Amino acid sequence: MTDEQLSHLGLDMGRVIDRRVYTDPHIYKAEMTQVFSRTWQFVAHESELQGPGDYISATIGEQPIILCKGRDGSLNAFYNVCTHRGAVLTTRRKGNCGAAFRCMYHGWTFDQEGHCIGVPYPDAYGQDFSRDVYDIPSIRVETFAGLVFVCLSDDIGPLEEYMGEVGPYVREVVEGTESLGRVRWAYDGNWKSWHENFADNYHPEFTHPVVGTGYRGIEVKGNNYWLDEGHGMLRFPPQRDPQRIVAAMRETSGLENNISDNPLWQRPPFDVDFKQDHRIITVFPNLDLQFMTGGMMNIIQVLRPQGVDRTVVELLALGTKGESQPAREWRLERTLDSQGSTGKVSGDDNEAVVRCQLGFAASAVPWSNMSRGQEPGKVGGKRDEYSMRSFYHAWRRYMGEHAL
Ligand code: FES
Ligand SMILES: [Fe+2]
């Protein structure tokens, strides 16, 4: 499509995206250096790292890293790589290294800050051998409202500044929470498709039968926000009709049993403010947060690309610090019922993003439309796409000459 054709359609480059952003390996490769190495990247909730030696491993872009709690309580990040001959120090996502990581290949050891502290049989390296040279390069770590981020670049400003306009919204929903655990799954599609889907409220009533049923006949309220520097938000009041969902499930299952016997349909064992908005927050480039009405289900999802058409989603379920065991169990059940590769909601989204990746191969249709919402400014209706356009506005800036 030429610029002339786009303007004829009332569109401009800010409202469509060339589908090669999801399929071109050169663009993907450029994203690793231009975007993933130059942004603050979420790694863990600080409650996941309780004592010395606790660690989380992750990939930033495709670079393996470790976040580890030191003896003094500090959080240290360094590359997950042995400086001897390159083996990763751990293949576990989470664990405790004890006093040190020991490489499984030749037994070199590295402390909780990545310093090289042990080399077996060092005499053969000669008298001038210095272990310090083999310390693993460290990585910047900063924390925001209990969320721990790393940044591979020294040239990017502090995390607080990076969060910018989205910061207060993230703080509001995350403060006072703790991690209840993680699940991860993969889909055959580009990482950006999931991030877009998260802030897309045009799709749910079609993609998710369980959501669409609840909204039938209801005037939909809520807003979609462009937040600066690639962030975004959806915010809407609780207004679905649960009785419709119950009726639809009875009809589908053919079961007459009282669905309220199912613990998932009972009131949660903690206080819920049913007037509180549902919030979906997207942090540039690959972090998504969802806080459901009254804090009933709070999740974080972070996207770990594994190639131009393969992505791992890591999900953290969050609870309120110090709450009871039944409350935690209820939240976990509720989260896994709808989220994860088999969840009633995420399962449908998996299908949608995989179908898109398949469709992108049709080169005669090279553009995707993201133009919903015509009001100037940064706020539209619930089904509008201001947040998506904010993402690509920032993406183009980060990608520079590599953008399409
Ligand atoms: S590769 Fe790690 S000790 Fe040799
Ligand atoms: Fe969805």
Local mean pLDDT, 10-residue blocks, the chain (404 residues): 60 81 98 98 98 98 98 97 98 97 98 98 96 97 98 98 98 95 97 96 88 76 96 89 67 62 69 86 98 86 98 97 92 89 91 98 94 93 96 96 89
- Enumerate the CATH 3.90.380.10 domain ranges in the chain, comma separated: 177-402
Give the residue carrying structure tokens 């400014």: 377
**Is there an atom of ligand 1 within 6 Å of 84 CB?**
yes
Query: So what's the pLDDT on residue 263?
Result: 58
- Enumerate the CATH 2.102.10.10 domain ranges in the chain, comma separated: 40-151
What global pTM score does this model have? 0.93
- Backbone conformation region of residue 315, classed left if phi is above 0, alpha if psi is from -120 to 50, else beta: beta
Query: So what's the pLDDT on residue 357?
Result: 98
Q: Are 212 and 206 in contact (CB under 8 A)?
A: yes
Q: Looking at the CA of residue 89, tell me the nearest atom of ligand 1.
A: 2
The Cα diameter of the chain in Å comes to 81
**Is there an atom of ligand 1 within 6 Å of 129 CB?**
no
Q: Are 368 and 17 in contact (CB under 8 A)?
A: yes
**Is there an atom of ligand 1 within 6 Å of 119 CB?**
no
pLDDT digit string, tens, across residues 318-369: 999 999 999 999 899 889 988 998 888 999 999 999 999 999 999 999 999 9
Give the residue carrying structure tokens 């990939």: 59
Ligand 1, atom 4: closest residue by C-alpha: 106
Reported in sequence order, the residue ranges of 166-291 that DSSP labels E, i.e. its strands, are 177-187, 223-226, 232-236, 278-283, 287-291
177-402 CATH pick, 3.90.380.10, 1.25.10.10, 2.40.160.40, 3.40.1020.10: 3.90.380.10
CATH superfamily placement of domain 40-151: Rieske [2Fe-2S] iron-sulphur domain (2.102.10.10)
